[in-house]
Amino acid sequence: MAGKPTLHYFNGRGRMESIRWLLAAAGVEFEEKLIETPEYVDKLKNDGSLMFQQVRMVEVDGMKLVQSRAILNYLATNYDLYGKSMKERVLVDMYSEGVADLGEMIMLLPMCPLDQNDAKMAQIKERTTNCYLPAFEKVLKGHGQDYLVGNKLSRADIQLVELLYYVEELDPSLLANFPLLKALKTRVSSLPAVKKFLQPGSQRKPPMDEKRLQDARKVCKF
């Protein structure tokens, strides 16, 4: 790809964080234009940069890409992180969608009303330990390989490891019964490009707290 990809998003994880993870794991340097005012969002809308009038846009290869799946698929294809065949690609998609489902639940937790927080947290923990993590552990156990698809690092592994970090932030004990997932997390985290991304001062974003949430709401009008 010519030039560095440029990411337009607010200063937080949100739906852009998986894109940051993917680029970082691929060893690709990227720039960020942080959205800090409502006027910047209006500018992007008015100049036609946001096809569906929603922030989360990546400039790359002369294109202004929106929609997370489209961006992730494009980048994964270009950086050989999307399997070697149609069968492998559909597995990468399927696993990535599962990761996204649980990730969405975790990401939306700070937006949950306080009186519903405990119930929502309990639901997330139940789904984490009884549905999603067992499914991925079974995949790794079933083929005995280092990675989810084709024994080669793919978008699915990167997104799953990103998710495992979020799960640990919720409750480290949730990973206790999943040794293969813990090994995958260690394996991917040890890759030089990922290890660099995990260091303090990188473009990786911290957990969403109330202040960041309120700032994002003001800027992005949601």
Topology of domain 86-190 in CATH is: Glutathione S-transferase Yfyf (Class Pi); Chain A, domain 2 (1.20.1050)
Span 95-138, pLDDT tens digits: 999 999 999 999 888 777 888 889 999 999 999 999 999 999 99
Is the distance from CB of 7 to CB of 24 less than 8 angstroms?
A: no
Residue 84 pLDDT grade (very low, low, confident, very high; cuts 50, 70, 90)? very high
Instruction: Give the N- to C-terminal CA distance of the chain in Å, as an integer.
Output: 33
Asked whether this chain's domains 6-79+197-220 and 86-190 adopt the same fold, the reply is no
pLDDT given for residue 220 in this prediction: 56
Whether 194 has a pLDDT exceeding 50, the answer reads: yes
pLDDT given for residue 68 in this prediction: 94
Please report, rounded to a whole number, the percentage of residues in the chain having pLDDT higher than 90: 79
Span 8-63, pLDDT tens digits: 998 889 889 999 999 999 999 999 999 988 899 999 999 999 999 888 899 999 99
Span 150-159, pLDDT tens digits: 999 999 999 9
Residue 66 pLDDT grade (very low, low, confident, very high; cuts 50, 70, 90)? very high
pLDDT given for residue 208 in this prediction: 67
Q: Hey, which CATH number is domain 6-79+197-220, 3.90.550.10, 3.20.20.150, 3.40.50.300, 3.40.30.10?
A: 3.40.30.10
Residue 222 pLDDT grade (very low, low, confident, very high; cuts 50, 70, 90)? very low
DSSP 181: H
pLDDT given for residue 215 in this prediction: 58
DSSP 145: -
Domain ranges of the chain: 6-79+197-220, 86-190
Which contacts of 37-44 are long-range, i.e. CB under 8 A and separated by 24 or more positions?
A: 37/219, 38/218, 38/219, 38/220, 38/221, 40/219, 41/219, 41/220, 41/221, 44/8
